[in-house]
A and B are shown apart, each in its own frame.
Chain A
Amino acid sequence: MSPPHYKLTYFNMMGRAEPMRLMFAYAGVPYEDNRIEKEQWPALKSHMPNGQIPVLEVDGKQLSQSMAISTFLAKKFGLDGKDDWESAKVQEMLGTLDDVKLKFRPWMMEQDANKKAEIFKTVLTETIDPYLERLSETLKKNGSGYFVGQKPTQVDFHLFHIFNWWQQGNIATESIKKHPELVAFTEKMGSNPKIKQWLEKRPKTAM
Chain B
Amino acid sequence: MPTYKLYYFNIRGRAEPARFLFHLAGVPYEDIRIEHADWPKHKEETPWGQLPVLEVDGKKLAQTAAIYQYLAKQFGYNGKSDWETAQVQELLGSTEDVFSSFGPVFRTQDEAEKKKLMEKVVADTVIPYLTRLQKRFEANGTDYFVGNSLTVADLLFMGMISNFKDKVFPEIAEKFPKLDAFAARISQEPKIKEWIEKRPKTDM
Contacts and interface: CB of A to CB of B under 8 A. Distances in A.
A85 to B, nearest CB: 7
Contact of A63 (B47, B87, B136): B87
B90 A92 contact: no
Interface in A62-111: 63-69, 71-72, 75-76, 84-85, 87-89, 91-92, 94-96, 98, 102
B100 A96 contact: no
B132 interface: yes
A94 B48 CA distance: 13
Interface in B52-98: 56, 59, 61-67, 69-70, 73-74, 82-83, 85-87, 89-90, 93-94, 96
Contacts of A61: 83
Given A72-B82, A91-B66, A96-B48, A51 B90 contact: no
Interface residues of A, number: 29
A58 to B, nearest CB: 8
B129 to A, nearest CB: 9
B61 A92 contact: yes
Interface of B: prevailing SS: helix
Contact of A95 (B64, B74, B83, B136): B64
Interface in B34-50: 47-48
Nearest to B60: A92
Interface of B: 47-48, 56, 59, 61-67, 69-70, 73-74, 82-83, 85-87, 89-90, 93-94, 96, 100, 128, 132, 136
15 contacts: A64-B94, A68-B87, A69-B86, A71-B89, A72-B82, A72-B89, A75-B82, A87-B69, A87-B73, A88-B61, A91-B65, A92-B47, A95-B64, A96-B62, A98-B96
